Structure 1
Amino acid sequence: MKLIHTLLAITIIILAASTAFASPYEKALQLNQDGNYEAAFQIYLQEAQKGDARAQAKVGLFYSAGIGVMRDDIKAQRWLHKSADQGSADAMSYLGSLYESPSSPLHSYDLARKWYMEAAQKGNSNAMTSLGYMYLEEKGVKRDCQKAEGWFQKVAALGYDVNFSMEQLTKICGTKSGSYEDGKIAYKVKNYARAREIFLNLSKKNDVRAIYMIGYMDMYGEGSLQNEINGIKGYRKAAEMGYAEAQHSLGFSYRLGNGVPQDYKKAVYWYQKAADQNLCSAQNSLGYMYEQGKGVIKDYVLAHKWYNLSSVNCKGSVRDRDNLEKQMTPSQIAEAQKLAREWKPNQ
């Protein structure tokens, strides 16, 4: 019981100390998170008057939104400019929002776009999104679906979810062909309908990557009902065209019996095709088949060779190779290493 009280006391002391040493700006952030906007604003204002660019941006934001203080766009503009002059991307984005607002006496789409652009060039995702919508919704510019999509894609590339924005783009702009890279970005953000549309269009032009992606999406029911038969058709067509990713996926399907009868020999056949093109995932899969003796005669030397080659680009193969070595003799390991050194991928 004493131990529990002691631990509680220590915890309280640590928390008190952390609070005591928190900067005024951090205290304001906490007050803001707690919903105590008036108190947060007062601290932000004090720090802003000392020249803190972060606090200046917050003061400008609070004035523009009327949070914790009466709305005053003129004061918001002044504080945001002070912060932006110090290079704050957030302040630049807030300025864009201030100028974009039709209810503001400072309303100007040209200035909004200018400040969004400056913030976007500094990597501010909110500004990138806002630029996309300006082009999408004709705010001071003619509608440009390509530019709108370009900005949304930049946001997606930063790791943010832009699925809603992409859906709005499709609703307003309709459909367009799009590049393979456009399709991959749409797929990454789980806008499967858009990705599928792009890949289907490209597959009609015999783009092997798109053919494979349609097969992959069919196999796993992404953007359509799951259909393993169609998935295998896509895999096979792309595999026969020499696409390593498709060859590996087709081999994987044969190994597990997904969409085709299970057949280890056919799995090895397609794994080999992809592995010969230096696809590390296929090399690992081929190493596994040799280690387990599935579809081939068990051969630790060849398994080690393929694990070793795979480990160059697939780091997980290092573990598989090292675990296998525990079952091998030094001479076997030396032979496998020699085979790996002498190996060359198919051109």
Structure 2
Amino acid sequence: MRRLATQGNAYPEAQFFLANCYGTGMLGLQVDHERAYHLYLQAAKQNHPAASYRVAVCNEIGAGTRKENPRAFAFYRKAASLGDTAAMYKLGMILLHGSLGQQKNAREAIGWLRRAAEQADEENPHALHELGLLHESKDNSVVIHDEAYAKELFTRAAQLGYTPSQYKLGQCYEYGTLTCPVDPRRSIAWYTKAAEKGDSEAELALSGWYLTGSEGVLKQSDSEAYLWARRAANKGLSKAEYAVGYYAEVGIGVKQDMELAKRWYMRSATQGNKRAMNRLTELKRLGNKKSNQGRPTRAQTRDECVII
């Protein structure tokens, strides 16, 4: 492989492969980011699309070379022009937001995002989701507001396994947005796909569904509601930390425990959650006594903890 990458008419695919080995420690090689960068650069000089993208990334983050935003941008543009899907998406986002010291250029940005979306696959679904967000928004002059097309884009990304799009569709089918009908079965299915990949928002959304259940679709379960909220809370999602605190205070899916509730409220409040702050203030005012409001219904609890 070294001979192919370094001797005679060096083979760019071999240079790219060997660079990946040095970058990750494959084939028993010691990780060497500088050598990896050098090989990526040699392959990029021979117009290798993926190597040009890696050179851009290295220059952006300073891996194996110093940070140079203008150079990073130049190689992102080169890689995109050579047809690299990830580079097309990255270039579109740079131009859309004006990052890496570049001027915003919405028209060109959309063009690159559309090209990336046309080539979307399981490794590169991101452009579909970003275009969906743009078409969903009513507050931009970049693209036409088109909810049906936004749904189509999110669906394509979700089917490719993109977690944010799967969560988005879960919301759409739960609340009937973006031309989607209210459909608990589809909502729960998409939330489950995202939650299984560790998406904390989806885990909290599933907690809400287990709180109320859905006739013929999902059996109501307080214990499952608590466990899904706890998963999200353990990842540091402020809303989920508040939810777990509320479950502990009320006694849903876990034994009623005011001290446990306060600990979770405190974690949530530390992140600026105003509901958690207010709840801690209320508990202090009550002197840690149980509220005389009575046990809330599951629907009320869902509104309190999940739809925030």
Q: TM-score, normalised by structure 2?
A: 0.49
The structure having more radius of gyration, on CA atoms, is: 1
